[in-house]
Structure 1
Amino acid sequence: MTTFLGNALRGSFFLIFGLWWSIKYPMKHMLQKLNADNQQASRWIQFMDITEGTIKAFFALGGILAEQFVPNGPHLALYDEGTQNWVNLMNWQYMTMYLFYGFSGVVDILSYTPLKLPVGLDRLLVALALFSEGSLFYFHDYQGAVLTEHLYSLLSIAVFGAALGALLEVFLRDHILLELLRASLFILQGSWFWQIALVLHPPWGGPGWSQADAGNKNFLTMAFFWHFAVILLVMAVIGLTSRCCSNACRVDLDHIDVELDFGCCLRKINQTVDPVLLPKHEEK
């Protein structure tokens, strides 16, 4: 769907997962650091991964159905024999993108089943999903729409960057910097899809931005990196908050009273030890 709603839905998909990862991975790193040998911590991490995979597969299925069965969608028709033309190839391309993310969600779930999938396969599927998404945008024929092509070219920077990071994660498992890089680039994809929606399909009506104005291209190139700058600031705040929580909170997942409060651990609690008074020896 090349509409405001279609781009907004895609943007929301990437924003949700990017923001979730920006919170999940610092939390996961903190749990592993403070509870290295705690089985309960491992179960919490497993629960988060399975839930994430389920939501990813559900969103991907919803995206596939939306691209196919919207009122002006192809309704599973790929080629029209009567007109001898392809039917809504843009919808099919977006459907292909969602399909690979659906595969990634399924692998996330199967990674914790008795099938014992190879370690790193989940990250490999994320990399393949991103690579297919970036290729679809890069090789798409925009039919002379210069500004539209430029918008999606900028988006491809975030997509291929995230694909490279996810591929490195196949070999460098649980690397916090690579995980946060992937999260930031997913957020960038989400915010940029919203930017594309506002530029090409303004919700308040009227035509989109001029395709021929070179100033629009220059401004949007700057805006792309402004998006990324704001995202990095948000990620820094989340990282500092997690660091403060890990320094100030004691995690005890084996008991009901878990002393982990992410809302109240914004500063380190100073604890002082009362001096021990030793008895004075009486002089003889």
Structure 2
Amino acid sequence: GLNCWEGSLGLKMANFKGHALPGSFFLLFGLWWSVKYPLQYLSQKISKKSHRTHFFQRVDAIEGGIKIVFSLIGMLAEQFVPDGPHLYLYSGEKRDWVKLMNWQHTTMYLFYGLSGVVDVLTYISQLVPRGLDRLMLALAVFVEGCLFYYHVLHRPMLDQHIHSLLLITIFAGAGSILLEVFLRDNIVLEMFRASVTIVQGTWFWQIGVVLFQPWGGPMWDENDHRNIMFLTMCFFWHWAAAVAILAVNFSLTYWVCKLLLQIQGPFPRRKKSNEIFTFWKSERCPCGAAGRKVEHAGVAALHPHPNISGVGT
């Protein structure tokens, strides 16, 4: 039994990058969302300009493209590493399965890639139903959770436990993203998604360090219950750090927006004056058809027609 376990451990040692790579992807997206969504929320509070909405729609499309690229990198890495399956699902005379762990990771990347495709299509075509991008992302996260649940089934206790902690963030994220289908642009749900994504990223790295010791050191005792207790506590330290990151990024974004508003001036007030001018120039104003526009010192002024005022008759 020991020799068999050592052999499987040696196989797992070669797959450390299989945890580090998705961990880096999730961490990058989580950190980006922790800046993007406060910026979007605060900019909407400051100004309702339409070009800001279009800007963030373009950002969503770019995000989709990055998802596609990351997913392709992940799938190629899982398939074509030296000990990878190289697109063979089974081989040999007995038709044995080939590297099913790599295939599971490939399937996870596939669904995130499909989520990126829907993001891009949502920006390109008006025919894509509103909320489909969030639904596809929720499905991708749910698929990830199911794959990882059966990924570690019947493994040693420490291995199972450290992956089960990851499932907390995965299924919590899937549920919150599903709510975003119906509660669009909800800053609370968006920030929660950012937090669980950051935790996913950092915890993937933590799993790699605990199980594989890539930089050397003694292996963890998988039968010591104290290790289970520590890792559970450590997991929520990761989550506390993610919440702190969100708080810092939200505060920094707020101060940057406030500073830019002070530098650029009160845009909403100028917009309001333009709206008043447009009203007076429109047909809704009784003198709109007879008024004439005079530019003086950069200020638009309306002078009524003499016949309207009754002077000069």
Q: TM-score range by the shorter chain?
A: 0.7 to 0.9
TM-score (norm 1): 0.84
Relative to the length of structure 2, the TM-score reads 0.77
Counterpart position of 2:60:
49
Q: How does 1:220-239 map to 2 (within 5 A)?
A: 220-239=231-250
Bigger proportion of residues as helix: 2
**Residues 30, 197 of structure 2: 8 Å contact kept:** yes
**Does 2:224 align with 1:213?**
yes
* Counterparts of 1:207 and 1:237, CA distance in 2: 36
Residue 124 of structure 1, CA deviation = 0.4
Q: Give the structure with higher Rg (CA).
A: 2
How far 1:134 moved relative to its partner?
0.4
2:39 aligned residue (6, 27, 33): 27
**Equivalent residues of 1:50, 1:109 under 8 A apart:** yes
Shift of 1:241: 2.0
Q: CA RMSD in A?
A: 1.9
- Aligned-pair CA distance for 1:247: 3.6
Give, in whole Å, the separation in 2 of the partners of 1:129 and 1:208. Answer: 33
Contact 2:30–2:198 at 8 Å: present in 1 too?
yes
Of 238, 251, 256, the match for 1:240: 251
Letter in 2 for 1:32: Q
Give 4+ residue runs of structure 1 displaced > 4 Å after superposition.
none
Letter of the 1:135 counterpart: C
Q: Which residue does the alignment assign to 2:201?
A: 190
**CA deviation profile, 1:125-170 (whole Å, cap 9, x unmatched):** 1100110000111123444321111111000000000000000000
Q: Could you tell me how far apart the structure 2 residues matched to 1:82 and 1:205 are?
A: 38
For 1:160 and 1:41, the matched residues in 2 are separated by 32
**Which segments of 5 or more consecutive residues in structure 1 lack a partner in the other structure?**
256-284
**1:12 paired residue among 10, 16, 24:** 24
Taking the TM superposition and a 5 Å limit, the aligned residue runs for 1:146-225 are: 146-206=157-217, 208-225=219-236
Q: Which amino acid is the alignment partner of residue 167 of structure 1?
A: L
Structure 2 counterpart of 1:114, one-letter code: S
In 2, the alpha carbon distance for the partners of 1:45 and 1:13 equals 21
What are structure 2's unaligned runs of at least 5 residues? 1-10, 268-313
| CA distance in 1 between partners of 2:125 and 2:155 (Å) | 51
Q: In 2, are the aligned partners of 1:142 and 1:148 still within 8 Å (CA)?
A: no
Superposed displacement of residue 207, structure 1: 5.4
Bigger shift: residues 10-19 or 202-211: 202-211
**Post-superposition shift, 1:12?**
0.3
Partner Cα distance (2:95, 2:222) in 1: 30
Q: What CA deviation, in whole Å up to 9, does each residue of 1:173-200 have, x standing for no partner?
A: 0000000000000000000001001101
- Is 1:129 the equivalent of 2:156? no
Q: Secondary structure at the match of 2:82?
A: coil
